[in-house]
Amino acid sequence: MAQISKLKVLTIAEYNLIANKDPVGSYDRRTRENLDAIRARLRDNVARLSDLERRLHDKFKDAKFQALDKKDRQVRSEVNRHRLSARTRRMLAWSGSALAVTVLGLGFVYALVLDAATQKRVDYLIYERLGQLGMASPQEVKQIKGELDKLERDLVQTKKKNLELAQMIDQMIQNNKVPQNLQVIVKRIHDDPRAKYVKQGESTRLLFDGKPIAQYSTHAENWYILGILETGMLKVFYNDEEILEVPAIFGRKDEETPVGEYEIENKLYKPTWYKKEEVNGRTVVRAIPFGDPDHEIGHWWLGMKRLGKPVPGSYGIHGVNVARTNEFFKKNYDHRGGSAGCPNIQEWNLDFLAHVLPTGTPVHIVHEEKWSKSA
């Protein structure tokens, strides 16, 4: 964020728009117009550029942005041509033993001798010739093309999302913006197989696609959690710096979350939930294992030990069931009326905290925040 504050020509929005783009990438018309306008501003104000803006100018001064629809047509054409030509090669093999021997021989040369560019030209010639001979019916070609179009769209979309996510993470790492963007990072990488938490000595490292995003100490004195009932937030501090602000649901009326000081006592993965229920006029506790349809506390339980004056009950930070995930974003939703007393948070935040928070981490639950880092 210190680097962003040194911008002299660009706004923060303009910088964020162009910083993670590819100089030869493909984008829609509006995005290309905006990028070209930013490039023009950099070019027309070379003498005033900061070091950060000068690097952007050097990177994009010769940029050649391509139209997205043109790239899509090229990709679809290449995929269709390759798939359809493979189909026609199989049809040739069925046409007769003599022709099959010829095709096998050509296939051997095709696979082991020709380079990729020549293979594509051969594919095109074969398909073009078979089309002239009428060996592929229009209905069959249409069906295959429809299936291939869907497959190609799915593959391209998945690849695009993976590439954008990797670029976003790389840019955040390069700009030393992990603390400012950790909320976004944690949500985007949750359940992504490329995200790994690795314990190394007295620290835990968060990796994405093999690259380190952040590293945290496993000593409890480096951590502090502040739960604020009035605003429905859990604030996570590391070495006296706020690294995460987590939306939370606290206890409803008559089951309010007790204010006071706690510490993380244990961390349980796929915990059993002990739910209070009324049966024949009596309050009983039912043990609900993880995976049961009635289980509602998520993949982790971060048990909190009360310090000082004890309070009845057991409290811990845990998740919510799928049906309640959107409650965090409902307009006018009362975050103090959703749980039986435990702080409830979303799975991606819970997963991150479960991996990096050491046992013994202090937790302070208050009605309202009376201290801020900037004060």
Q: Which of 318, 335, 355, 367 is catalytic?
A: 318
Catalytic site residue 355? no
Q: What is the mean pLDDT of residues 88-107?
A: 55
Q: Which burial class, exposed, middle or buried, applies to 35 when counting CB atoms under 10 A from its CB (0-12, 13-18, 19+)?
A: buried
Residue with tokens 């649901």: 249
Domain ranges of the chain: 4-64, 69-136, 219-366
Please report which confidence band the pLDDT of residue 113 belongs to, taking 50, 70 and 90 as the band edges.
low
pLDDT of 262 reads 96
Range ranked top by mean pLDDT from 68-77, 99-108, 291-300: 291-300
Better-scored residue on pLDDT, 337 or 3: 337
Q: Say yes or no to pLDDT of 267 above 90.
A: yes
Averaged over 125-152, what is the pLDDT? Answer: 54
> In the 8-state DSSP scheme, what is residue 227?
E
Give 253's contacts (C-beta < 8 A, 6+ positions apart).
337
**What confidence score (pLDDT) does residue 120 get?**
45
pLDDT in tens, 285-324: 899 999 888 888 889 999 999 998 888 888 999 988 666 6
> pLDDT tens digits, residue range 315-334?
999 988 666 666 666 555 56
- Three-state DSSP at 246 gives strand
List the one residue out of 364, 360, 363 whose CA is nearest residue 220. Answer: 360
| Domain range 219-366, CATH class | mainly beta
| pLDDT at 175 > cutoff 60 | no
Q: Can you give the pTM of this predicted structure? A: 0.54
Taking the C-alpha atoms of 195, 200, 205 and 210 in order, what is their torsion angle to the nearest 10 degrees? -50
CA distance 29 to 27: 7
The C-alpha angle 25, 29, 34, rounded to 5 degrees, equals: 80
Return the top range by mean pLDDT from 69-73, 157-161, 192-196, 260-264. Answer: 260-264
The widest CA-to-CA distance across the chain, in whole angstroms, is 91
| Residue 177 predicted with pLDDT over 70 | no
* Strand ranges for the chain from DSSP E: 26-27, 66-67, 195-200, 203-208, 211-217, 223-228, 233-238, 241-247, 260-269, 273-279, 282-288, 300-306, 315-318, 362-366
Residue 219 appears among annotated catalytic residues = no
**DSSP state, residue 220:** G
Catalytic residue selected from 57, 190, 295, 342: 342
Q: Which comes out higher in pLDDT, residue 86 or 202?
A: 202
Q: Is the pLDDT of residue 274 over 80?
A: yes
